[in-house]
Copies of this chain bind each other. A is one copy, B any other.
Amino acid sequence: MIPRYSRPEMTEIWSPETRFRIWFEIEAYACDALAELGVIPKDAAKTIWEKGGAATFDVERIDEIERVTKHDVIAFLTHLAEFVGPDSRFVHQGMTSSDVLDTCLSVQLARASDILIADVDRMLAALKTRALEHKFTPTIGRSHGIHAEPTTFGLKLAGYYVEFERARERLVAARKEIATCAISGAVGTFANIDMAVEAHVAEKLGLTVEPVSTQVIPRDRHAMFFATLGVVASSCERLAIEIRHLQRTEVLEAEEFFSEGQKGSSAMPHKRNPVLTENVTGLARMVRSYALPAMENVALWHERDISHSSVERMIGPDATVTLDFALNRLAGVVEKLLIYPERMQSNLDRLGGLVHSQRVLLALTQKGASREDSYRLVQRNAMPVWRGEGDFLTLLKADAEVSALLSDAELEEAFDLGYHFKAVDAVFARVFGES
């Protein structure tokens, strides 16, 4: 997580201030439940909320205490006591540090999920707008980087739209994975704390209760969360690479928006680099890589070891901040993408009609020509086109053997783009619903 690739809303989740605020809420909600159970005085719980709620926690001060106690939660509680006074002795009763730390991480990851889901929504809106805009803009479909058959630019974007719909569903599932609360004590037995406390805190924080925790919330949940982020990042990479391809000098069917003011644009008008999507490509590599340490974190020893902690201190912010940044940067690119339909058409025409050779072949066979003859006829007209000696349709019309089988109108029909676009409406209906 570095400022260059960070957005404030997501970064904020990982600030010490936010963390301490969430810790406070966990402790204070737990006090409410303990007071309700009669374990601590109701007045104390009230005081804790009032004084702690009004407090501005001093990160420097807490760090200072931690340098002595070598324990982050104790340092926080000590600082909290400075605000709350004597009633602070009722805070954290029967709890273990991980009850606070792990539940806090759940809150942070759930909030991060909400932002990521909103990011995907922005992406979906952008893709839908541009897809509808170019629903019938003809463009060449490419397999292996080679011209294959015509498609529409809208159809291409519709494909990305459904991919990001899946990304959204996956993020919703990932959020559910990690939105759990554990307040169960040193080895998860609730020896020193009533299960009602966990239930109360969970409810108040919008979490579910962890069925079995062992001091820690089990890390298979977090592994699934970060693996999901890696998959979503890979979808970003696919779209980013598509745009980078489209912007290549020889292709130039689309370009990242390039503001007039950007340095050097007009003396070298060709030198507009797809740097935003290249950047997203790199960021996707990073988000993907975080899935691995998250998976290695699962196998903690017995009821817990603390090896996961250093990993999560890094990938918690790094993965969410980076994916948030990549999603937004990419959505921005889509929103403002410069799309060049004329260039798409000229690329489509580039092979002199050869992309229709399959349909001509089919038309010939349907007229009764043998497969071998049809192939020979197509081939002898295709080769000159390929060598740059003419246009496929013109040559076919001029070929007596061909025109004996197919009229000019029939040949022209074989070159009709409409043939390829007849299912576009139906596919759009699948994607965006009947309209």
Contact = CB atoms under 8 A, between A and B. Distances in A.
Interface string A413-435: 00000011111101100110000
B142 A70 contact: no
Interface in A158-187: 158-159, 161-163, 166-167, 170, 173, 177, 185-187
Chain A binding site: helix, strand, loop or mixed by DSSP? Answer: helix
A146 interface: yes
A309 interface: yes
Contacts of A289: 289-290, 292-293
Contacts of A151: 187-189, 214, 303
Interface string A310-348: 110111001000100000000000000000000000010
Interface stretch (A40-48, A102-110, A354-362): A354-362
A238 interface: yes
B227 A231 contact: yes
Contacts of A313: 2, 4-5
A211 to B, nearest CB: 5
Given A145-B302, A195-B426, A159 B269 contact: no
A88 interface: no
Contacts of A296: 234, 285, 288, 296
Interface residues of A, number: 143
15 contacts: A70-B263, A141-B189, A141-B302, A143-B305, A146-B249, A147-B270, A159-B214, A189-B424, A212-B431, A224-B228, A234-B296, A269-B385, A279-B310, A286-B311, A288-B293
Interface of A: 2, 4-5, 69-71, 74, 140-151, 155-156, 158-159, 161-163, 166-167, 170, 173, 177, 185-192, 195, 209, 211-215, 218, 220-221, 223-224, 227-228, 230-231, 234-235, 237-238, 240-242, 244-245, 247-251, 262-263, 266-275, 278-279, 281-286, 288-293, 295-311, 313-315, 318, 322, 347, 350-351, 354-355, 357-358, 361-362, 375, 378-379, 382-383, 385-386, 419-424, 426-427, 430-431
Given A267-B361, A282-B297, 16 more contacts: A2-B314, A74-B263, A141-B302, A143-B304, A147-B271, A149-B189, A150-B187, A190-B427, A220-B234, A234-B295, A237-B299, A248-B248, A282-B307, A285-B292, A285-B296, A286-B314
